[in-house]
Amino acid sequence: MRNTASRVRLAAVAAAAGIAVLAGCSSSDQQDNSSAAASCEPAKGKVTLQYWNTVPGMDQVVALWNKQNPDIQVQTKNISNDQYGTISNALKAGKAPDLAQVGYDELPNLRTQNAFVDASACSEATAAKSKFVPWTWSQTSFAGTGVFALPQDTGPMALYVRSDIFKQHGLAIPKTWDEYAAEAKKLHVADPKLTMTFFDPNNAEWFNGLLWQNSAEMYSYSGDKWHVTVESPQSKQVADYWQKMIDDKLVRTDLANGSTQMYAAYQQNQIASYVGAAWGYSMFRDNLPKQAGKWTIVPMPTWGTNAASGDWGGSTVAFMKGGKHLYESVKFNTWLNTNPEALALENKLGGLYSASPVGTGLPQLSEGVPYYNNQKIFDVFAESSKNIDTSFTWGPTQKTVNLSLQDAMAKAAAGQGTLADALKTAQATALKSMKDLAIPAQAGK
């Protein structure tokens, strides 16, 4: 949900994105990279499924299913500490679970590891298509070549504001990034111990969300090859903006998102805002209870008059290779991501912003949230969702590129190079990593 990327947005999915996801897996036979459609025969007798995820409170959601389905029991394992390392090691050892939480941006990577099984032999799996936002379904089905996962949640972005700090220092709610920088400078002059926000150099997924907002298309696919534009002018605009914020000491670079140190900084009233996603609403509620009533959520600052927003995170629940009970896995997976009772719990306990209109249309999402001074915060996220570019595409080696980007951003934050240099490094890594996998690619469009 929050470490990987994607997003009640949206109109029809852009066909190019789905084609790109499909085509990026290999230059050879695509079917080799995911198990062919498996049999969908119900098991004879009781079944126990393994479901790995990173969502707080998911054990309570699973307990609800287990109470209602005595013949299909689910065991859940939280793998927050090392999500993809745990999954990758399990795949290598032939001990992958039946189901696992996988970010949209990680799907192409894991497909190259032959990680998934096609559940399209199950009629309930193919029928689920109508229950999700179209663009999310396209990514999980690899442009309609099968059903390898079901969408779970999305991450439309917004700005979290400490209303009391803003009021104390006479700050205006920024509508644009230029205004955000101006208010950040005003705040820092008023109190050098205060900063507007923090820049986490080790969080490429968050940075990708910022690029996404500025229409910084990182990848496209045409002419039987990938076109890599990680260091596009739009990307450089975002990088240069945050580089100046860092250089002017208007943001901190010593905090990691979700870390104890991050919460401590907010608890000690050292930071005035947070650029985050819909799922982040529960982070502050659960970790900073004494700040109830002090937070407001407003639209993400924009680039000029362009109303576009960004997306950070979002996950799927994938059918993993090696699962022995596909029929039962489909039943649980469908329930988990479309059942109103399950979705209500997932939002309340884990902060998930559902990829299903059923979830985003829950009555509780139209109500005021007590922690946020009874503000109807999900109205803000719903509007953000409508303003996200649905054609944004992930590359087939996104994880490798993200790691490279993070390493280079960390160096830039330490004064070794710039964020623009980090983009150049990530661009080179994208091209090399595709070449190493024999995936046709070139720089530029």
* pLDDT tens, position by position, 226-266: 999 999 999 999 999 999 999 999 999 999 999 999 999 99
pLDDT of residue 38: 64
The mean of the pLDDT values for the chain is: 90
Burial of 78 (0-12, 13-18, 19+ CB in 10 A): middle
- Per-residue pLDDT for 12 more than 70? no
pLDDT of residue 21: 39
Is the CA virtual torsion 20, 26, 30, 35 positive or negative?
A: negative
Q: Can you tell me the mean pLDDT for 350-378?
A: 94
Residue 73: what are its φ and ψ, rounded to 5°? -95, 145
Q: Can you tell me the mean pLDDT for 160-178?
A: 98
Q: Which residues contact 346 (CB under 8 A, 6 or more apart)?
A: 55, 57, 58, 61, 153, 336, 352, 354, 359
Burial of 197 (0-12, 13-18, 19+ CB in 10 A): buried
Distance from C-alpha of 26 to C-alpha of 32, rounded to nearest angstrom: 9
Distance from C-alpha of 174 to C-alpha of 244, rounded to nearest angstrom: 18
pLDDT of residue 17: 35
With DSSP H G I counted as helix, E B as strand and the rest as coil, what are the percentages for the chain, rounded to 5?
A: 45, 15, 35
Contact by Cβ (8 Å): 23, 221: yes
Please give the helix or strand (H or E) that residue 195 lies within, else none: none
Return the percentage of the chain with pLDDT > 70, whole number.
91
pLDDT of residue 268: 97
- Per-residue pLDDT for 73 more than 80? yes
- For residue 293, the tally of other CB atoms under 10 A from its CB is 14
pLDDT of residue 133: 86
Contact by Cβ (8 Å): 419, 390: no
Highest mean pLDDT among 10-14, 18-22, 109-113, 312-316: 312-316
- Ranking 23-27, 204-208, 357-361, 371-375 by mean pLDDT, the lowest is 23-27
Relative to beta strand 441-443, strand 157-162 is: unpaired
Return the percentage of the chain with pLDDT > 90, whole number.
80
185: nearest Cα among 136, 249, 105: 249
Distance from C-alpha of 227 to C-alpha of 219, rounded to nearest angstrom: 6
